[in-house]
A and B are shown apart, each in its own frame.
Chain A
Amino acid sequence: MAEALDTVVAVETPEGILIELRPAGLVVRSYAFAVDWGIRLAVLYAVAMLTAFIGGVGLAVWLILLFACEWLYPIVFELKGSGATPGKRVFKLKVTMDNGLPVTPAASITRNLLRVADFLPFGFGFAIASMLMRKDYKRLGDIAAGTMVVHQQKPAGKPVLADVPPITPATALAPRTQAALIALAARAPFLTVERLDELAAIAAPVSGDARRSGRRVTHRVLGVAQWAMGRRE
């Protein structure tokens, strides 16, 4: 089920390991676009006020700036280190190649020049249609350039669990089951005792206590969570 819902894209490196990328969807990308749009509008407005006093040269500067804001702004920011415009950085997104590597200049220029095609027929219609129809949320420019907009993730860090003696699980545990047990144990201090018992009863098969519940079973399930954290009996 989780596989069917997840939009994770896995790419294999030459070292033979898989790297997981999480493509960013329409909504968060629209927010990022709105922020970028606001920034550009503010800059153009401010410069327009300054250049109004210096006539033709001022107008030239402003028109060139308008050109730069329309076409060069995303390219410059995507190629400058982080691979993200300020708007994308606010929402922790970045542009990568299909294989997870930083975006190349050619790809960045391609995807940003093709923005015109994405804008058609009006209001980014084709971009929205394309993003809604694809699992990796690419707009037309992304498809042609072989790029993707992904969530930048930071490692979650090591969860801190209450100290319970570890218990070896009754059956082999899949990584996802282990993660669920650890998440339960991490939430334990914030749950009422009764609710914790209820939840632990669902997980009870891992400690060989299927169809049983109660304080002792909870204790044993939390023990298995300790095992999943890497401690051994």
Chain B
Amino acid sequence: MTPLQFEQLYDKEWDELELSLDRHAAAPSARAIAGARFTELYRHTCGHLAIARGRSYPPHLIDRLEHLTAECHQLIYQQRELGAGALLRIITRDFPAAVRAHSAYVATATALFLVPTLVLGFLVYTQPELILSVVDAETAAEFDAMYSGGAQSIGRLRDVDTDWAMFGHYIRNNIGVAFQCFAGGLFAGLGSIFFLAFNGAYGGAIAGYLTERGLGHIFYSFIVTHAAFELTAIVLAGAAGLRIGHSLLAPGRQTRVQSLIAASRQAIVLLYGVTAMLVVAAVIEAFWSSATWMPVSVKYGVAGLCWSAVFAYFAFQGRHAR
């Protein structure tokens, strides 16, 4: 058979396949193509390509068949797990399950965050001048003013406008910090360790300083509610980073790259949840934590509920789902 005869014989099938691809490109939906016929044509064309290559048929013919099969391959084997169903599954099952599956990393990340917080908190509480080795005098004074109940205070009634501006700031800033904690894991986990310890130490120093100044009641009633979401989210992002760092250091029987890809695929589920938690935290921080008209007892009550809810969610949600 000459290449021209070959082309004439099968040209109709290839045209039909190209037409289906065009129709799908114009209106991407599963209904744009007849699945059974499409896959049949695809398999035929794969056979034609193998024959054409085996017989060294003209390059333009092979080229056309290569592109045709490549495009069909993309369409047939693509995995798109997007949509409301996937989102619901992540919230009700995948995210809490991933947290439990990574419990050792979560525990490590918690320790890496909490130990510097407590150590620095205690040190600065007993020796307040140490705050100056964490932040400069100006920043320390700013924190003073913020929680002092004075004109610049966070405890004053502030207008809706500022609430919104702060909301934007929290979204951009906190989620960025969480993503950094995760990405730092790529350097054998060192980046995650650094960001966890740094954020812990910084927060601890501020808390110790303000407590020593007698401003603790304003500070703690401000942070306690959104911390349930914000601090846990940062720790979880760090845990995800530790996971990928560990996969590089101890790949087991896989190559380092294989191990990294497999670990990333599982750890990234944590980041979905982290992002959602930080959005919740930003809403609370901007619109609830700053509300001073609220009695402190109500604030601590709600905070207690939030912390319990977060832990219960991680402990129990999606355990028996199939």
Contact = CB atoms under 8 A, between A and B. Distances in A.
Interface string A99-117: 0111011110110011111
A117 B257 contact: no
B46 A17 contact: yes
A140 B80 CA distance: 23
Contact of A71 (B164, B165, B175): B175
B57 interface: yes
A105 B81 contact: yes
B300 interface: no
B60 A158 contact: yes
Contacts of B108: none
Contact of B268 (A57, A60, A67, A109): A109
B69 A13 contact: yes
Nearest to A59: B165
A228 B167 CA distance: 67
B284 to A, nearest CB: 15
B169 interface: yes
Contacts of B80: 79, 102, 104-105
Given A179-B59, A230-B4, A13 B186 contact: no
B82 interface: yes
Interface in A164-188: 172-175, 178-179, 182
B271 A109 contact: yes
Interface residues of A, number: 61
Contacts of A154: 67
B165 A56 contact: yes
Interface residues of B, number: 67
A62 B191 CA distance: 29
Nearest to A102: B78
B112 interface: no
Contacts of B133: none
A56 B162 contact: yes
Contacts of B58: 178, 182, 228-230
Given A13-B73, A17-B69, A153-B67, A101 B172 contact: no
B143 interface: no
Given A71-B175, A143-B257, A230-B57, A17 B49 contact: yes
B82 A101 contact: no
A230 B61 contact: yes
Contact of B79 (A62, A101, A110, A179): A101
A182 B172 CA distance: 57
A64 B171 contact: yes
A156 B60 contact: yes
A232 interface: yes
Nearest to A229: B58
Nearest to B63: A155
Interface in A197-223: none
Interface in A59-76: 59-64, 66-67, 70-71
Interface of A: 13-17, 19-20, 55-57, 59-64, 66-67, 70-71, 79, 81, 100-102, 104-107, 109-110, 113-117, 120, 140, 143-146, 153-159, 172-175, 178-179, 182, 228-232
27 contacts: A15-B42, A16-B46, A56-B160, A59-B164, A60-B166, A61-B168, A63-B172, A64-B168, A66-B172, A102-B80, A104-B79, A104-B81, A106-B265, A110-B268, A114-B182, A116-B183, A144-B261, A146-B264, A154-B67, A155-B60, A156-B63, A158-B60, A178-B56, A229-B3, A229-B60, A230-B7, A230-B61
Interface of B: 2-4, 6-7, 28, 42-43, 46, 49-50, 53, 56-64, 66-67, 69-70, 73-74, 77-82, 86, 159-169, 171-172, 175-176, 179-180, 182-184, 186-187, 191, 244, 257, 260-261, 264-265, 268-269, 271-272
Given A144-B264, A174-B56, A230-B7, 13 more contacts: A56-B163, A59-B164, A60-B167, A67-B175, A79-B82, A105-B80, A105-B86, A113-B268, A114-B183, A116-B183, A144-B186, A153-B67, A175-B53
Pick the 8 closest A-B CB pairs, nearest first: A56-B161, A63-B168, A230-B3, A60-B168, A116-B183, A56-B165, A15-B46, A60-B164
